[in-house]
Structure 1
Amino acid sequence: MTGFGAFVAAAARRGELVVQPRMGFGDVARMRAGLVATRDAGVPAAGTITLDSFTRTGDHGSVRAALAEGRQLNGYPIVDHPLEVTREMLAGLCGPDFPVQVRHGSPRPQRIMAALVAAGLDATEGGPISYCLPYSRVPVAESVRAWTEAVRVFAGQREHGRPHLETFGGCMMGQLCPPALLVAISLLEAMFFRGLGLDSVSLSYAQQTHPGQDLEALLALRALAGEFLPATEWHIVVYAYMGSFPRTPGGALALVADAARLCVRGGAERLIVKTTAEAHRIPTIAENVTALRVASATAGVEDGRAAVVEDTGIAAQARAVVEAVLDLETDLGAGLARAVRIGLLDVPYCLHPDNARRTGATVDAAGRLRWTRTGDLPLRGLADAGGEPGTAEQLLRALSYMERKYDDAALNASGDGREQPLAAATTSAVRRTGQ
């Protein structure tokens, strides 16, 4: 059976990391050009169609008005473009050697998933927790019902390939969420998909603030997935840091390169890249291609031997959360909704009305994410938590930790305290990989 998961598995057997942009344009010709450039980048890559914010929230009236008036959208409106337009946009591009994934952010994905299947696509992402808590005020129970309906239908669509769904659970809030909770939510959403009949999934994890901690988290995610997802095709996808991104070209590319190194060391098979433009504006197609090439070149020379990392308890904490949620209800969807309601799943700094907001986290002096409060998470005796969450100024410093770290290193490397030009930064980043 062909499909997104099979493409990634084949690359992994060849020792290659699949790289993927976060790309989406409202203009049809530009969306096709972005996919063509990704396919022709000369690296193992998957294509991306990221949807616009109106489609994500179900505001199709605003989408249609924008299309009628020729106004630019911040992503591709797959539901409201005529089906033949999307099929023509994809013609000759999407296939076993170049899969395309739809990324959206909707807590109510039914129309989106129906539209992508009708267009001949078989891969998307999300989840009832990860696409609800950060992005909406939709009640979690309603999101669970919507995702249950959508996944059941999606799992049965095998005309174009084996349907594949990536949980966004490892990317909750993008930053300042301790790794154990990211691992747990990623696992729980993947198990939710599997229980609805979907047998090809990927588990996400967002690069955080400390490479050793991230490596421990990836190894924990891999071990627990092997245990909790039997009879399932799965792989792990890492997202390059999703918080405040370096503003210098050299800093941005160094962070992307470190994300690629993390993938190889932690056994992740796919990487979602970011670009030198993330801190300033929507990236161009060329900037996305540069990031893909830097990441792939870095992965190509990184030592993939099994890493030895300190066990700080991430796997034990994640297991405790997963098992506590599984014990709540016989139906996992109902268990997820109840877990949020009673605080067994409680994401720091998440303002969704259903989120208990009794947990807290910070970046310590060593750069590790640690709990300041664990609320009602089942982590008694498993996680050290203490201290106040800090002042607003301290929170802002934690949020900008990676930006400052990588920009400072880039400026120091330049020798004159100024940003490197983009071409020089690209050359320098690739040189550091030995290419």
Structure 2
Amino acid sequence: MELKNKKMDSKLFKTIQDEVLFQWSTGKEVDFEEAVKYHEAIPEHKIFSRKLSEASKLGNTLIQPRAGVALVDKHIELLNYLVNEGEADLLPTTIDSYTRHNRYNEVEKGINESRKAGRSLLNGFPAVNHGISLCRKVNESVNVPVEVRHGTPDARLLAEITIAGGFTSFEGGGISYNIPYSKNIPLDKTIYDWQYVDRLMGIYEEAGISINREPFGPLTGTLVPPCISHSVAIIESLLAAEQGVKNITVGYGQCGNLIQDVAAISTIKTLTEEYLEKFGYEDVVVTTVLHQWMGGFPQDESKAFGVISWGAATAALAGATKVIVKTPHEAMGVPTKEANASGIKATKQVVTMLRDQKMELTKELEEEKNIIKAETRCIIDKTIELGEGDIAVGTLRAFAAGVIDIPFAPSRQNAGKVFPARDNMGAVRFLECANIPFTKEIKDYHYSKMLERAKYEKRDMSFQMVIDDIYAIGKGRLVGRPR
């Protein structure tokens, strides 16, 4: 395996596909020509890419929850509840953990035990084991577009089954579904495996079927500076575009400072389009998604609704194409369908109220946009340089050198030397830049922001700030002030 950012040729793709479809019995159900005909009959209002493009043109923010259970009829019941009671605009099918790790024998046991118990004993929908016809049953039973959301390092069979099964959006990437999730999986393997996934989507695109692709934006979910998540989203977009993907949604996890979050949503679209154009991918449609706060939540439901509503306001004011919703049970585990619907409704109310409002370009907002752009370009340009023009090769070398360094990631492929913390206004800055190739001016900027907070709190700049910030929102604050 020699990793290059080059479109996979048909012979190699077919060789790999034969191996992939042999991984589980439902693989033999895949018939590409038949699947294309099936997709051609899907109503336009149930196609993810069309719904997103329409929302982007109108300036609307769509609402999407997370959800998935083991049994098909229960999953359909849950999804319809989230539409009818929660008023969701878009739906997920969240995949179970065994499927994410390609452990299909254990999935089968989980399905059987769930049937005996009459309730889900898996933490998601086992799409591979259910197969194409049951995936189609899910999609035919709801009246809005459905996306596959998961967390799978090797998602090749999952992609084959679910896209043939009528899903019109597929989340993830070789970086974003490896580094934040796994400890020992080689990065070159996951990027290579996801080139297959993206080439599959590209083949569908060439047949006239547009499948939306969404790199996972929040990464480790807590205190991830915008330039880090932006860089991963841009790289995964470039990798997808080379394989023929034409519709991409780039994401960002809410950090909590309104100005920074609005600047982040604006710049992620601008920067992604900039680098796509730079590499000659000029016909890719780019939309955006804001993930509501991905860190610790208050256990009190009323306080949790405050966090959810702040995420909703941020998405609306930033003009995100869609927002991924949290629930008031976030601190307690898997939510009930009622709790999930209530999070959607709270978000919907705020987004609807703010539909005609957007943040004006103030001096502070412009400054934040400029710093995010400058930081991201430092990382991406160095990555391109390390790869001698090849973004796939450059990505491997950038992680090895700590040029890309995702905070708090478990992967051994990740340097883990960067430490983010909040400044005095709650924006996420770098307490320690480590080997990220920032200019002296950018490093000085971060130092000054952290020094300002340290002086205000009358304490030294230290890792304790990082710890305090991680737990702050769960305790009712944004900035982790000392007692």
TM-score by length of 2: 0.78
| Equivalent residue runs for 1:291-330 within 5 Å | 291-302=343-354, 303-308=356-361, 309-312=365-368, 313-329=371-387, 330=389
2:90 alignment partner, one of 41, 46, 49: 46
Q: What residue number does 2:127 align with?
A: 78
- Give me the CA root mean square deviation: 2.3
Whole-angstrom CA distance in 2 between matches of 1:341 and 1:262: 35
Match of 2:311 among 259, 265, 279: 259
Residue matched to 1:193: 240
Task: Give the letter for the 1:246 counterpart.
Answer: P
In structure 1, the gaps of 5 or more residues are 409-435
Q: 1:283 to 1:407 in 2, by over 3 A?
A: farther
CA contact (8 A) 1:246 1:407 kept: no
- Decide which of 381, 401, 410 is 2:472's aligned counterpart: 401
Alpha-carbon distance in structure 1 between the residues aligned to 2:360 and 2:238:
27
Which has the larger displacement, 246-255 or 370-379?
246-255
Paired position in structure 2 for 1:429? none
The amino acid across from 2:409 in the alignment is C
Q: Do the aligned partners of residues 227 and 241 (structure 1) sit closer, same or farther apart at CA in structure 2, a change above 3 Å counting?
A: same
CA distance in 1, matches of 2:467, 2:403: 27
Alpha-carbon distance in 1 for matches of 2:204, 2:411? 32
Equivalent residue number for residue 113 of structure 1: 159
Mapped partners of 1:331, 1:407: distance in 2: 39
Stretch deviating more after TM superposition (108-117 or 341-350)? 341-350
Aligned residues: 403
CA gap of 1:380–1:288, structure 2 versus 1, over 3 A, is: same
Aligned partners of 1:107 and 1:143 also within 8 Å: yes
Q: Specify the alignment match of 1:351 in structure 2.
A: 410
Q: Residue 369 and residue 407 in structure 1: after superposition, are their counterparts in 2 closer, same or farther (change >3 A)?
A: closer
Q: Larger C-alpha radius of gyration, 1 or 2? A: 2
Residue 89 (structure 1) aligned with residue 135 (structure 2): no
Which residue is 2:180 aligned to?
Answer: 134
* 8 A Cα contact 1:121 1:160, kept in partner: no
Distance 1:346 1:407, change over 3 A: closer
Gaps of 5+ in 2: 1-39, 115-119, 277-281, 451-459
| Gap change, CA 1:293 and 1:115, over 3 Å in 2 | same
Give the structure-1-normalised TM-score. Answer: 0.87
Asked if the contact 1:117/1:157 (under 8 Å) is kept, the reply is no
Retained in 2: the 8 A contact 1:243–1:399?
yes
Matched, 1:101 2:151: no
SS of 1:311's partner is helix
One-letter amino acid of the structure 2 residue matched with residue 305 of structure 1: K
- Letter in structure 2 aligned against 1:238: L
Partner of residue 76 from structure 2, selected from 32, 37, 61: 32
1:283 aligns with 2:327: no
More helix, by proportion: 2
Aligned to 2:443: 383
Secondary structure of 2:229's aligned partner: helix
Q: Tell me by how many angstroms 1:264 deviates.
A: 2.1
Moved more, 398-407 or 288-297: 398-407
**How far is 1:68 from its partner?**
3.0
User: Residues 140, 167 of structure 1: CA spacing in aligned structure 2 closer, same or farther, 3 A cutoff?
Assistant: same
Pairs within 5 Å for 1:83-232? 83-93=132-142, 98-136=144-182, 137-158=184-205, 161-168=209-216, 170-229=217-276, 230-232=282-284
Match 1:338 to one of 373, 379, 397: 397
What is the rounded CA distance, in whole Å, between the counterparts of 2:86 and 2:427 in structure 1? 36
1:209·1:401 contact (CA, 8 Å) conserved in 2? no
Asked if the contact 2:426–2:478 (Cα under 8 Å) also holds between the matched residues in 1, the reply is no
Does 1:371 find its partner at 2:430?
Answer: yes
Query: Which AA in structure 2 matches 1:162?
Result: S
Amino acid at match of 2:244: G
The Cα shift of 1:240 comes to 0.3
CA–CA distance in structure 2, aligned partners of residues 40 and 69 of structure 1:
29
How many angstroms does 1:124 deviate by? 1.0
Matched-pair contact (CA < 8 Å) for 2:59–2:321: no
Aligned to 1:165, what secondary structure does the other structure show? strand
- Could you say what secondary structure the match of 1:204 adopts? strand
Does the Cα contact within 8 Å between 1:38 and 1:46 map onto a contact in 2?
no
Cα distance in 1 for residues equivalent to 2:208 and 2:65: 22
CA distance, structure 2, for counterparts of residue 199 and residue 258 of structure 1: 32
**Deviations 1:274-320 (CA, angstroms, capped at 9, x unpaired):** 01000012111121211112111111121423522151411110121
2-structure distance, mates of 1:192, 1:186: 10
The amino acid that maps onto 1:106 is T
Alpha-carbon separation, structure 2, partners of 1:233 and 1:41:
31
Q: CA deviation at 1:192?
A: 1.5
Q: How does 1:59-70 map to 2 (within 5 A)?
A: 59-70=103-114
